[in-house]
Structure 1
Amino acid sequence: MITTAPLDGPAVNKAGSPRLLIVEDHPLFRAALIGVIGAEFPEAEVLQATSIDGALDIVAARDGLDLILLDLSMPGTTGLLGAYRVRAAAPRSALVIVSAHDDSRIIGSAIALGISGYIPKSTPKSELARLLRNILEGGISLPTRFRDAAAARKGQADTRELIQRLGQLTSQQLRVLDMICRGLQNKHIAYELDISVTTVKVHVSEILRKLDVRSRTEAIIALSQLDFGKHDHAPTTPARGDDS
């Protein structure tokens, strides 16, 4: 069951048609979301991305996104780090996590990011339409049991300090950090970003300094707080800081 509540401040939706971004790599669920939005908001502009980097490209190119619907299980990112990157790039847009995951720690950490909603993928279409309208009108929608649950508060407390440290990173450093957590070596990161290995090493050094960790492996462990409290996405071989 989902419950809704008003937020302080003005409504998210401005005069005119809403502009929404769907960040979802599964074509069937993406089509289902588009169908719900089209039926409830026939004048809405719906943009689509199938990766975090694609979503960030759209955010950079388009002003005035009212609502971003984001699946947690996206390629090219780990856990909630992708959601954090989108949140940092679009702080004025309502961010809603739409996920198959239903875990207290995940939702608690997501709340700490300042999301406007956490909606299970199993939500019926009619209920989903109502929740989206509430969020566009300035509300917040969370599973009922997490509104004031101790588990949610603990997730927020555990994540808050890490989020403050992540706030010191540039967008490029966040992208490099995401690649580190995926187990990519410096030479692979350099290739993906079309920059030199030396530049990657500079980014890595700054990332470690700002996160107050001594190695890439410690950074991955620290980021596990945004990765569902697990190490599922840690590299299978030790991550080294001096690879080339």
Structure 2
Amino acid sequence: MNALAGMERAMGGLTSPDKVLIVDDHSLVRDGLRSIFDDAFPTCEILEADSLQSALQALDTADDVDLVLLDLNIPDVSHLSGLEALRDRFPATPVVMVSGVTDRNVVRDALAAGAAGFVPKSLKRTAIVEALQLVLSGEIYMPELECDETQAAEEDMIRARIETLTPQQRVVLGHLVAGRLNKQIAYELDVSMTTVKAHVSAILQKMNVFSRTQAVIMAGKIGFRG
């Protein structure tokens, strides 16, 4: 970051980033974010990437990227693996998640994994600029999300039930969520079909459901993957 930008930050004024990387596999979204920067930070250099791999390559070759805007769902990542990869290789570069998903659990998990902010794509342009300004000033941006108390209570109940599972049962539940059959799970874990069936039965009992489909649906409500 140049001396002027650093001075602006120190004085509490508007901070204009020198270089930003936008990572999204949809060119229309990248164009929209680029236009926001062109209007709010006209001197900022914009880099673009359409995958995690191209983002890593861009960061490897670019000097002093001030901010990365990362879409939650790009083809070569799973859940928050893209964020984790960027934080692991470039820990000093703030990464802001940008997504159409505003589930409070996803937002919480992203911030817990090291995101400097979570910006819903539904925000107005002015609100997006304010969010980015907050991150550039060293703060963490978290969107205001409506919290349905009934939904929150249900999710807490699901987590409590899953926490009663043994480590092996949690692994088996993860395989169920992934859509694997008992024989596939037995092969993956190198155990007998009888053992897998016993784990599945215990999972259904502890989660208080009557079928593996119900267990998968319940686990999906809190984003459980094993």
TM-score category, normalised to shorter length:
0.5 to 0.7
Aligned position for 2:77: 77
Structure of higher RCO (CA pairs closer than 8 Å, 6+ residues apart): 1
Is 2:112 the counterpart of 1:112? yes
CA contact (8 A) 2:17 2:66 kept: no
Letter in 2 for 1:100: G
Aligned counterpart in structure 2 of residue 221 of structure 1, from 174, 182, 189: 174
Superposed CA deviations along residues 3-33 of structure 1, whole A, max 9, x for unmatched, are: xxxxxxx89xxx9852111000111111000
CA contact (8 A) 1:96 1:119 kept: yes
Aligned position for 1:174: none
**Superposition pairs for residues 45-124 of structure 1, below 5 Å?**
45-124=45-124
Aligned position for 1:33: 33
Matched residue SS, 1:142 = coil
Following the alignment from structure 2 to structure 1, what is the Cα–Cα distance between the partners of residues 49 and 119? 19
State the shift of 1:219 in Å: 10
CA contact (8 A) 1:59 1:89 kept: no
Moved over 6 A (4+): none
Following the alignment from structure 1 to structure 2, what is the Cα–Cα distance between the partners of residues 49 and 110? 20
State the shift of 1:218 in Å: 4.5
Aligned position for 2:195: none
State the shift of 1:62 in Å: 2.0
Any stretches of 5+ residues in structure 1 without a counterpart? 1-9, 159-212, 223-229
Q: CA RMSD in A?
A: 3.5
Following the alignment from structure 2 to structure 1, what is the Cα–Cα distance between the partners of residues 99 and 180? 26
Matched residue SS, 2:140 = strand
Is 2:14 the counterpart of 1:19? no
Letter in 2 for 1:77: V
CA contact (8 A) 2:83 2:115 kept: no
Matched residue SS, 1:114 = coil
Identity across the alignment (%)? 29
Following the alignment from structure 1 to structure 2, what is the Cα–Cα distance between the partners of residues 43 and 60? 22
Aligned position for 1:44: 44
Change (3 A) 1:17 1:84: closer
Instruction: Compare the two structures and name the one with the higher helix fraction.
Output: 2
CA contact (8 A) 1:98 1:120 kept: yes
Following the alignment from structure 2 to structure 1, what is the Cα–Cα distance between the partners of residues 179 and 51? 20
Q: Which has the larger radius of gyration?
A: 2
Superposed CA deviations along residues 22-64 of structure 1, whole A, max 9, x for unmatched, are: 0001111110000001111111111110001111111222231
CA contact (8 A) 1:69 1:95 kept: yes
CA contact (8 A) 1:22 1:30 kept: yes
Matched residue SS, 1:143 = coil
CA contact (8 A) 1:40 1:129 kept: yes
Superposed CA deviations along residues 132-189 of structure 1, whole A, max 9, x for unmatched, are: 122112222111359xxxx7xx99xx9xxxxxxxxxxxxxxxxxxxxxxxxxxxxxxx
Change (3 A) 1:219 1:145: same
Q: TM-score, normalised by structure 1?
A: 0.55
State the shift of 1:94 in Å: 1.1
Matched residue SS, 1:63 = coil
Letter in 2 for 1:30: R
State the shift of 1:101 in Å: 0.8
Following the alignment from structure 1 to structure 2, what is the Cα–Cα distance between the partners of residues 16 and 117? 17
